[in-house]
Structure 1
Amino acid sequence: MADTLLDVDGIETCYGLSQVLFGLSLSIKPGEMVSLMGRNGMGKTTTIRSIMGLTPARAGSIRFAGSEVRTQPSYRIAKLGVGLVPEGRQIFPNLTVRENLVAAAADRFGSSNPWTLAAIYVMFPRLAERASNMGNQLSGGEQQMLAIGRALMTNPKLLILDEATEGLAPLIREEIWNCLSLLKSRGQSILVVDKNVDHLARICDRHFIIERGKTVWSGTSDELMAEPDLQHKYLGI
């Protein structure tokens, strides 16, 4: 579809002989914020790894910005404009905060309001304060801010966050949600994995729920909140 930024259609992904995704589908339109939800072990991270080319899908289609990317290496997918905030953050421990941010900085698409070091520091003042600290000297919350800032410094068309607020203190979680709201207001396309249904319903446009590697439900925030039985069945809430 021409108006779709990311179109994942019927992908199947395996780790060796163990199949994890069984015909999973989802889509994201430009400027849309979409959540991917499901219990632990249902295939959320594998879906993201397939989109990024880290664990390539063996069947199905993954189209991004009009190009088929299912068989493309991860670095090419990143260059097409996909920025990833991975589970576990995976920042560079032996680089400073500033070095982490500028390491992959790029503006390949001529953004009208590009993310720069100064802009990241405005959004996350704590990173400005810790600019000369090494990555392994940061708290978990600071590392998550840094991981988000690093992804934004690539000025991506699509930002993907895997477990956006997992393991973070409540105040830091609120800061991350405020950041995502700001990004959405700027028109940033976002795919987010998280367990906080209330926050996701508040700021996301649409949601996809997966169970055992398949998409079992999709709909708007209003539709999601209107079906508490659905949340209990698939999310354990």
Structure 2
Amino acid sequence: MVSQDLAEPILSLDGVETCYGQSQVLFGVSFAIQPGEMVTLMGRNGMGKTTSVRSIMGLTMARAGSIKFMGEEIRGLAAYRIAQRGIGLVPEGRQIFPNLTVRENLVATAVSRDGGEWTLERVYELFPRLAERATSMGNQLSGGEQQMLAVGRALMTNPRLLILDEATEGLAPLIRQEIWNCLARLKQSGLSVMVIDKNVGALIKVADRHFMIERGKVVWSGLSAELTGNTEVQHRYLGV
């Protein structure tokens, strides 16, 4: 993990407010991610996690506040321009292309970026199962295989920041473990990562810092060491 005192955040949100029509969901969300850091955004359902992701990605426009990526203000930019700047998204529900093969899914949005190391071969090395299913259609894959494909597709954009929304939701325990192992390898590679998931035990092991969101505001943040064994925080904000 890079020292927070030495580096400018790769992503920072300051006072972000977002609405769906007349219904306000985010009420001043603020947090930052340092280069090479893996963080989590956790909270009960409906508290604003996915809306925060949609606001970052420009899929739902924030009406107030600042969202900076690599020092540049991105609030107000079109979603495709934000993606072009180097944020890769593994969306909730995976959203792979069902009528393309595994290989076609991976190369469809591939980007060659300066310093980028992600190629088809490297994704297959990370997820050997995708190499085995390279000619299978997206809709022929299991849920776990689809999640691997969604992660691999995001990596093929050679992102500077990877965001995973509901990283292991609905997956079998063995597949969940494979995703956690993948995230550990990505962290070791120095990639900045933000993860949304409900598996507190696994997240504490793999992530550096954690942000708890409740009713559209970040209400607690701390290092993994501070969250480990903190049953009060876990129960108050996660219900565990």
1:210 match: secondary structure:
strand
With normalisation by structure 1, the TM-score equals: 0.98
Distance in 2 between residues matched to 1:123 and 1:36, nearest whole Å? 24
Shift of 1:97: 0.3
Structure 1 outlier segments of 4+, above 4 Å: none
Distance in 1 between residues matched to 2:123 and 2:19, nearest whole Å? 37
Amino acid at match of 2:212: I
Runs (5+) with no aligned partner, structure 2:
none
2:36 match: secondary structure:
coil
Shift of 1:3: 1.6
Distance in 2 between residues matched to 1:67 and 1:97, nearest whole Å? 34
Amino acid at match of 2:87: V
1:71 aligns with 2:76: yes
Residue 50 of structure 1 is matched in structure 2 by 55
Residue 147 of structure 1 is matched in structure 2 by 150
Contact residue 25 and residue 51 of structure 2 kept, 8 A: yes
Residue 221 of structure 1 is matched in structure 2 by 224
Within 5 A, what are the aligned runs for 1:86-165?
86-111=91-116, 114-165=117-168
1:27 aligns with 2:27: no
Contact residue 9 and residue 35 of structure 2 kept, 8 A: yes
1:59 aligns with 2:70: no
1:34 match: secondary structure:
strand
Residue 82 of structure 1 is matched in structure 2 by 87
2:164 match: secondary structure:
strand
Shift of 1:110: 3.0
Residue 22 of structure 2 is matched in structure 1 by 17
1:128 match: secondary structure:
helix
Kindly tell me the number of residue pairs found equivalent between the two proteins: 235
2:29 match: secondary structure:
strand
Shift of 1:66: 1.1
Amino acid at match of 1:145: M
CA RMSD of aligned residues (A): 0.9
Once the two structures are superposed, what CA deviation does each residue of 1:108-141 show, in whole Å capped at 9, x if it has no partner? 2333xx1100111111111001000100000000
Amino acid at match of 1:216: V
Residue 187 of structure 2 is matched in structure 1 by 184
Amino acid at match of 2:218: T
2:115 match: secondary structure:
coil
Quick one: percent identity of the two aligned structures?
71
Distance in 2 between residues matched to 1:184 and 1:141, nearest whole Å? 21
Runs (5+) with no aligned partner, structure 1:
none
